[in-house]
Structure 1
């Protein structure tokens, strides 16, 4: 039996990742920054450890190395951006001959986790559906822009720090309150959010993608009711972007679909499982095991017919601990 460490098991994607791995016979060790009683999936893993914050890099890295050694971990699957940033930065301290971190390569992650670098990389490779992106600190005259605009941290996550700007006056007021050196500026595109779970095997250049329109979503950008659909134009665009960004395994792309233009505008690539990856698994493709298989040098499954369908998520309550 192989041992897999899954981090941040209080996150949206954790449930399907844990269920799928255990169903295939893996021993799953879970971590989270919160205590066990606050995390339902802490009771679904084979062993749970409370993690320090990844922002304390030295303590977090010591914690990971201790768990990897103690539990004889073969694969690490991090589920949040912040942890991926730290792990990617210090791979040589975590990976060894017996333990592999299941994320894209260093350069790919560095590009994907920086929205300005992502835009420049795609633009340089003639991906035409990128939203024009500018570093806020380098803009000389804000009056040249057409409104509305969107301001966001170029290394942001989960819609944190997102600011919508309707007028020049609002923009001037907003930039007084933020560190402009860390923000990008884009025209606001109206439309529906489309998330694509995509998996790429860099050895064969095979990609599989499943797209969904997010009909209802939380304020931090997690879809709760979605429509799974197929659009060959989008599949081709996704294939092009995965190759340009050099991703490995399962990642997720976000687009805005504008009906007037009949165009999918690329927003970002999150180099991890999406919060709604279970939607893709329910629709008919096992993103979790195929992601792992890429890092085990196994072939990924082909995608067979996926039917257009609505899938909705619900929340359930569990008693995790009772004081006698």
Structure 2
């Protein structure tokens, strides 16, 4: 039986990834930094292991390599940004051991994980509307548009993001923060649109599923969404995925203004926390992500019906003492 390792199984995307891989008759190994009793999905995988922090790079790498050797793991699905960064940097170590890390190319991830570089790259290619962005340390504070948004170039899940209401507040922020890695943008009001995008780099085939996030957690995970079809937005996303060299499943985020204009925000080069919404709506992003790394063509997408989907949390007893 084929074997896949799914990391960070306490994350939002884990449940559907585990289910879909088991439907494909894979043995699923799961790991997470937390102990088994803290994670419901630790009881849904075939084998679970508590992992070191990925920030402890040497210990984490040795742990993963040993785990892969023990279970003859063929594929790794990293589910969080920090893990994607690790595997992007160290992918050759795993490739030499015959393990396929299912993420886009090094160049694609390097661009996507740097918000300043990504903004400049997309401006150059002129595919979509982007939010005016400059490095904060190069900005003229009195000339910025307020309210403004400041965030790290490599930020994730809204960590390190601040809203600044005035030049005076910005000056105070600059005095009290190391801003060398921060960008600044004007705050644009509107709803959040997330598009799950699956692209096979070899065949140049791309499928997209868009949703409007009606309710979200504070760190940006949708809990109630509206899945919809928009041919113009989907064409734009196909062009974005092509110019970025995406392979597999990623997600693009946009702000939709009251006038209907879409401003590109970011590309997360991994499954979105709400990828299950796309699967429920009718397109299996997980199975087709795998196909991008097994030499198979991805499936076509039937016309999906516009639909509302809400996430429900469920409690599990994981251990009785």
Compute the displacement of 1:240 (Å). 1.4
Question: Does structure 2 conserve the Cα–Cα contact (< 8 Å) formed by 1:64 and 1:94?
Answer: no
* Structure 2 equivalent of residue 192 of structure 1: 191
Deviations along 1:206-247, one digit per CA (max 9) or x if unpaired, are: 110000000000000000000001111101111111111111
Deviations along 1:23-74, one digit per CA (max 9) or x if unpaired, are: 1211000000000000100000000010000111111111111111111000
Q: 1:301 aligns with which of 299, 302, 305?
A: 299
Deviations along 1:262-301, one digit per CA (max 9) or x if unpaired, are: 2110000000000000000000000000000110010100
TM-score normalised over the length of structure 1 = 0.98
Residue 22 of structure 1 pairs with residue 16 of structure 2: no
CA distance in 1, matches of 2:48, 2:97: 24
Compute the displacement of 1:146 (Å). 1.5
Unaligned 5+ segments in structure 1 are none
CA distance in 1, matches of 2:197, 2:263: 17
Q: 1:275 aligns with which of 273, 276, 293?
A: 273
1:219-298 matches, cutoff 5 A: 219-260=218-259, 262-298=260-296
CA distance in 2, matches of 1:304, 1:250: 18
Question: Does structure 2 conserve the Cα–Cα contact (< 8 Å) formed by 1:150 and 1:185?
Answer: yes
CA distance in 2, matches of 1:145, 1:128: 23
Question: Does structure 1 conserve the Cα–Cα contact (< 8 Å) formed by 2:128 and 2:236?
Answer: no
Residue 213 of structure 1 aligns to a residue whose secondary structure is strand
Compute the displacement of 1:177 (Å). 2.7
Moved over 3 A (4+): none
Compute the displacement of 1:92 (Å). 1.2
Question: Comparing 125-134 with 314-323, which one deviates more in the overlay?
Answer: 125-134
* Structure 2 equivalent of residue 9 of structure 1: 9
Residue 226 of structure 1 aligns to a residue whose secondary structure is strand
CA distance in 1, matches of 2:308, 2:187: 27
* Structure 2 equivalent of residue 56 of structure 1: 56
Compute the displacement of 1:317 (Å). 0.6
Compute the displacement of 1:97 (Å). 6.0
Question: Does structure 2 conserve the Cα–Cα contact (< 8 Å) formed by 1:121 and 1:244?
Answer: no
Question: Does structure 1 conserve the Cα–Cα contact (< 8 Å) formed by 2:128 and 2:264?
Answer: no
Question: Does structure 2 conserve the Cα–Cα contact (< 8 Å) formed by 1:211 and 1:228?
Answer: yes
CA distance in 2, matches of 1:146, 1:131: 12
* Structure 1 equivalent of residue 313 of structure 2: 315
Compute the displacement of 1:309 (Å). 0.3
Question: Comparing 110-119 with 168-177, which one deviates more in the overlay?
Answer: 168-177
The alignment's C-alpha RMSD in Å is 0.9
Unaligned 5+ segments in structure 2 are none
Count of residue correspondences: 321
1:94-105 matches, cutoff 5 A: 94-96=94-96, 98-105=98-105
Deviations along 1:169-196, one digit per CA (max 9) or x if unpaired, are: 1111122232111100011110000000
1:198-209 matches, cutoff 5 A: 198-209=197-208
CA distance in 2, matches of 1:53, 1:46: 22
Residue 203 of structure 1 aligns to a residue whose secondary structure is coil
* Structure 2 equivalent of residue 134 of structure 1: 134
CA distance in 2, matches of 1:178, 1:28: 43
CA distance in 1, matches of 2:129, 2:240: 10
* Structure 2 equivalent of residue 92 of structure 1: 92
* Structure 1 equivalent of residue 158 of structure 2: 159
Question: Does structure 1 conserve the Cα–Cα contact (< 8 Å) formed by 2:152 and 2:183?
Answer: yes
Residue 300 of structure 1 aligns to a residue whose secondary structure is coil
CA distance in 2, matches of 1:282, 1:131: 31
Compute the displacement of 1:98 (Å). 2.9
